[in-house]
Structure 1
Amino acid sequence: MSGDSGADGTSTGKRPNEQLGSWFVRSGWSKGELARQVNRRARQMGAPHISTDTSRVRRWLDGEQPREPIPRILSELFSERFGSVVAIEDLGLRAAHQSPSASGVDLPWTGHQTVSMLNEFSRSDLMLARRGFLGTSLALSAGPALIEPMQRWLVPGPPAEPGPPRPSAAAAAQRLSPLSVPELQLLESTTAMFRQWDAQCGGGLRRKAVVGQLHEVTDLLQESHPEPTAKRLFRCAAELAELAGWMSYDIGLQPTAQKYFVLALHAAKEAGDKPLGSFILSSMSRQMIHLGRADDALELIHLAQYGSRDCATPRTQAMLYAMEARAYANMGQPSKTKRAVRMAEDTFADALEANEPEPDWIRFFTEAELNGENAHSYRDLAYVAGRSPTYVSLAEPAMRRAVELFAEEHEYQRSYALNLIGMATVHLLKREPEQSTQLAGQALTVARKIRSERVNTRLRRTVDTAARDFGDVPQVAHFTEVLTAQLPETAEAV
């Protein structure tokens, strides 16, 4: 009997699970390989008692319903394999009932509950999952289950409930936690420093430090503060939660990333900072594009644009237009993609002309980033349109300009690597494998200096494509061997 005998339910009358079988066949895995991956993921999430084997996998395919955490693990494994959300229900499996505070994104929009959930979630991340996994408590949300709760970001909060008579100003001041302006400024500057580290080194190097800082800020938020101080603390919590989500996304922890993004949006609402909320929604949109959910990405971006239309700076608006273009490109809508690209370029020019003060979180959106996003939009259109040379010709100069600028901006090493890989894919589309391999080699040099599973995954996929299409080219064959030897297969989450 396998060691996970207590984690499986009864058979469902020997009726084969056709949904699970379909995903399994398409994955290309053997039963033994799937069993090994389940066991490895179970150990990572702190469930070493799980010991699945090929006979157990066969029973699942035959219709046996496993208990948690097996359905959650299978959902994560197939989602990562196919680059899109594969829900537990899509696998023909039953999900365990969970409270809204433990899973999902439909959470209460109130200040004290936001603080409580942020505090609980960051503590769990730090203490219960040393390698970054939060056990069985998380599942990715998509479609209406994601979009509809996020739309409540724009709904005014409930009025304050009547309470006891207000104390005198002197008595209230005595009970308020003394948090000085220099202390607040230090918290804010520390967040900016963490953001800089992420851009230079990738999400895998300082993620735990960011989560720890977020937990400290939520501890502060549980004390009494004057309203202006409380709003600054909520803004700090929102920025840290967004950054924790971004770093989690960068190292492949997709459910964890989404939960942080959602909590960050709640904190931004408490801070009354709509531009910051739009930025958080743009991060969620990027994740949805990565997961193959361009329609969800577009909904999130439109929500961000509508919610910040009267208060976002031109640079922030330009970033949102660029992300709108990415979504349209992945949906195969050329005219709308081109329009959004033009709006991004024009609005960015307005930002340079206005030269107004900007929050630190939008500082990353430079001319290099603008060119990179627009180039990727045209590159994605080229793929959707069957390797269309028209869109390849539009992608190439913008991607080249992005690479040139990022080479000069040493602060953004991960973006430099991603755009080198992007340029490599453009050369593959042009059927120029030698040039593609050369750029992939430059990207590998950068990838080995940072901790970003997103960079590693994109590089592996690009080289896999080159090997499939041009495996007889000596440079491609040689670099495939080099990549296998030098790039670690997995990155530990920290």
Structure 2
Amino acid sequence: MKALNDKLAQRLERSGMSRGELARRVKSKAIQWNQPHISPDATRVRCWLQGETPRAPVPDILAAVFSDHFGYRVTTYDLGLGDSGLADAGLVYDSSYAATVEVVADLGRADVDRRKFLAAAPFAAVAGVGPSRDWLLNTLDQEPVEGPRVRLEDVSAVKNMFTTFQRMDIFQGGGSGRLVLADYMNAHVYPLLRRAHAEDVRRALCEAAAEQTYLLGWMAYDNGEQSVAQRYLIQSLRLAEESRNPALGAHVLAGMADQATLLGNPSEGRRLAQAGRQGLSRTTSAACLADLWCLEARALALLGEKAAAAHAVTQSERAYEHVDPDGEPDWAEFIDPAYLHGEHANTFRDLGDAASAEEHARRSIGHAHLQRRARRGAMSHAALAVSHLQRRDLEAAHAAGVRTLKLAGQVKSSRAVEAVGDLQRRMRPFGQHRLVADFTERARELAAAA
């Protein structure tokens, strides 16, 4: 026996429509959608209320009917009819600003509700090709467009919250606070995108929304929720384009490049980093440029292009020499010596250059220690440990590995946990050595806690 669809029943009662009226509106909307064969009656509506799930595209048509009636977004999920194509929609770089707003709002609601379909959706290896191309073309040749009327005070409130959440990520890891941020975005930010604004306010609001949507994606990425992260990042890129801020869009592409490389697609990571650098040609953010070169180096190292990777590291360091911290945007706060030297250490680790990896790892560790950044410290200690293993110095590697474990236990970050797992795998060639056994036992305790 089917369960009654209480969600649909509640929406219908709230609308004041009869079953017959709902059937007539569905038929009318179906004609607009070029689906004239869809012609329900009151009896069919009763079946839906009794738990029958209509075939596609009827759920989406019903959602459109209720959205029109109430004057705000109603989804198939709200009607108890599943999640429609939201997982796929999150991968689309839509030319429509209005459509983008609805997709990112739906994405945020699904994230807060912890709907399983979103977490289960796969990471699409080449999903960044179209979005990065469209962003780059529109960034290099875009004219302002007149937009509909929110106050700059509203935008300032949103931007002030960004600093709070970003520092939460930096010091506590992506698994700490992300759902709080998603809830804040759903309740306070995404609704603002639907309201009227002067053009300057609209751009500022899109910039603030893009920054925080990126942060949602980054926090999901750091917490190992890759499909969720990818969808947030693509929608953030679209909002960044709407803000007319090329540096912010390039920053989002850096995040996409980092994710692609981490998940075993260094060619895609390299291409995304290059697209970001090209988009920066008409703007200035030395920190972002340093990051993009840094991430390109990471990808090149995994592709085995040693000379090109070393060149990219040099370019990253040169770009960072021009950074003016007071002139950089808030989102660039994490792009500093602790971060860059840590990533350079990973580049040289993957190139098998143990001496250079150790040098950069130690520099990163020093900066991270002064800032009390446990996640960055854990990842750089892991790189240091690997450099010792590459020199066959198990005792030094074990000591650095223990420090990695201690720091990783202080944050909610799957990347820090994965760095520990990588270190475990690299210790296996040392067999049953007591230091290997000790580290394995300590790592098991961390994994259990995580």
TM-score range, shorter chain: 0.7 to 0.9
Among residues 163, 171, 175, which one is paired with 1:192 in the alignment? 163
| Structure 1 residues 471 and 101: CA distance shift in structure 2, 3 A | closer
CA distance in 2 between partners of 1:490 and 1:291 (Å) = 24
Residue aligning to 1:488: 447
The change in CA–CA distance for 1:405 and 1:267 in structure 2 (over 3 A counts) is same
1:215-267: CA deviations, max 9, x gaps?
22111111111112211211111111111111111111111110000000011
> Which of 362, 365, 368 is the aligned partner of 1:400?
362
Q: Report the structure number with the largest CA radius of gyration.
A: 2
Aligned partners of 2:251 and 2:375: how far apart in 1?
Answer: 19
When residues 464 and 339 of structure 1 are mapped into structure 2, their CA distance, relative to the original with a 3 A threshold, is closer
Residue 149 (structure 1) aligned with residue 131 (structure 2): yes
Equivalent-residue separation in structure 2 for 1:465 and 1:248 (angstroms): 26
Query: 5 Å matches for 1:86-165?
Result: 99=85, 102-103=88-89, 105-129=91-115, 133-135=116-118, 138-143=121-126, 145-156=127-138
Q: For residues 345 and 315 of structure 2, what CA distance do their matches in structure 1 show?
A: 14
The question of whether the paired residues in 1 share the 8 Å contact of 2:345 and 2:380 is answered with no
Instruction: Give the distance between the partners of 1:267 and 1:458, measured in 2 at CA.
Output: 32
C-alpha deviation, 1:136, in angstroms: 7.5
- Selected match of 1:318 from 280, 284, 290: 290
Q: Partner letter of residue 367 of structure 1?
A: P
Which string of whole-angstrom CA distances, capped at 9 and with x for unpartnered residues, describes residues 283-312 of structure 1?
A: 111111111100000110011000112203
- 1:488 is paired with a residue of what secondary structure? helix
Q: Secondary structure at the match of 2:322?
A: helix
**Partner Cα separation in structure 2 for residue 199 and residue 366 of structure 1:** 12
1:227 & 1:335 partners in 2: Cα distance?
46
Q: Summarize the Cα distance change of 1:438–1:124 in structure 2 as closer, same or farther, 3 Å threshold.
A: same
Letter in 1 for 2:246: K
Bigger share in helix: 2
Deviations 1:51-80 (A, max 9, x none): xxxxxxxxxxxxxxxxxxxxxxxxxxxxxx
Q: TM-score of the superposition, structure 1-length normalised? A: 0.70
Q: Does 1:239 align with 2:214?
A: no
Q: 1:436 to 1:110 in 2, by over 3 A?
A: same
Residue of structure 2 equivalent to 1:13:
none
Aligned twin of 2:332: 362
> What is the CA distance between 1:442 and its match in structure 2?
1.0
Shift of the 224–490 alpha-carbon distance from structure 1 to 2, 3 Å rule, reads farther
Quick one: distance in 2 between partners of 1:300 and 1:247?
A: 19
Distance 1:161 1:101 in 2: 30
**1:258 correspondence with 2:220:** no
Amino acid in the other structure paired with 2:174: G
CA distance in 1, matches of 2:93, 2:242: 14
2-structure distance, mates of 1:281, 1:161 = 24
Distance (whole Å) between structure 1 residues aligned to residue 272 and residue 173 of structure 2: 25
Q: Is the 8 A contact 1:315 1:348 kept in 2?
A: yes
Q: RMSD across aligned C-alpha pairs, in angstroms?
A: 2.4
Q: 1:159 to 1:200 in 2, by over 3 A?
A: closer
1:471 aligns with one of 417, 425, 431: 431
**2:133 partner letter:** Q
Matched position secondary structure for 2:415? helix
CA 1:128–1:368: 2 relative to 1, 3 Å: closer
Q: Is the 8 A contact 1:191 1:239 kept in 2?
A: yes
Query: 1:186 Cα deviation (Å)?
Result: 2.3
Q: 1:440 & 1:101 partners in 2: Cα distance?
A: 38
Where in structure 2 are the equivalents of 1:3-42 lying within 5 Å?
A: none
Pick from 253, 268, 279 the counterpart of residue 296 of structure 1.
268
Q: 1:448 deviation in Å? A: 1.4
Instruction: Give the structure 1 partner of residue 386 of structure 2.
Output: 425
- Say if 1:374 and 1:481 are closer, same or farther in 2 by CA, change over 3 A: same
Q: Distance in 1 between matches of 2:119 and 2:319?
A: 43
Identity of aligned residues (%): 27
The answer on whether the counterparts of 2:345 and 2:356 sit within 8 Å (CA) in structure 1 is yes
**Aligned residues, how many?**
365
Displacement of 1:397: 1.0
How much has 1:101 moved relative to structure 2? 6.7
Aligned residue for 1:308, secondary structure, equals helix
Q: 1:228 aligns with which of 195, 200, 225?
A: 200
Whether the 8 Å CA contact 2:213–2:235 is kept in 1: the answer is: yes
Q: Secondary structure, in 3 states, of the residue corresponding to 1:342? A: helix
Does the CA-based 8 Å contact 1:203-1:452 persist in structure 2? yes
For the residues of structure 2 that align with 1:449 and 1:160, how far apart are their CA atoms? 46
3-state DSSP class of the match of 1:219? helix
Contact preservation (8 Å) 1:371, 1:399: yes
